[in-house]
Amino acid sequence: MDRAYEGDETRQLALDLDFTPVVPPWRTRVDPWEYDREMPKRRNEVERLFRHLKGFRRVFSRFDKLDAVFLGFILFAFIVEALR
């Protein structure tokens, strides 16, 4: 969830479905709630990783027919990103 979904109704729906919302409250909120401040940072890292993976045309177009070859290229892309 993003801050755009931090309304009371959406938050209650997530809690009813046994999800743990980690949306930080707006600064202007009268009664802000506690949340894990590290979770949004980790989520951002994962989203950036997928954005970098989309830079490899072969990954997002899924040219490879075999799953093993596709997974191998994803691992190759991870290695290239780690070396940057």
pLDDT tens readout for residues 13-69: 888 999 877 777 777 777 777 777 888 788 888 888 888 888 887 777 777 788 888
Report how far residue 2's alpha carbon sits from residue 23's, in angstroms, rounded to the nearest whole number: 6
Q: Residues 69-79: pLDDT tens digits?
A: 888 988 988 89
Q: Which residue has the higher pLDDT, 52 or 5?
A: 52
pLDDT at 1 over 70: no
Total residues found in the chain within this entry = 84
Q: pLDDT at position 50, please? A: 84
Report how far residue 30's alpha carbon sits from residue 61's, in angstroms, rounded to the nearest whole number: 46
- The predicted model scores a pTM of 0.56
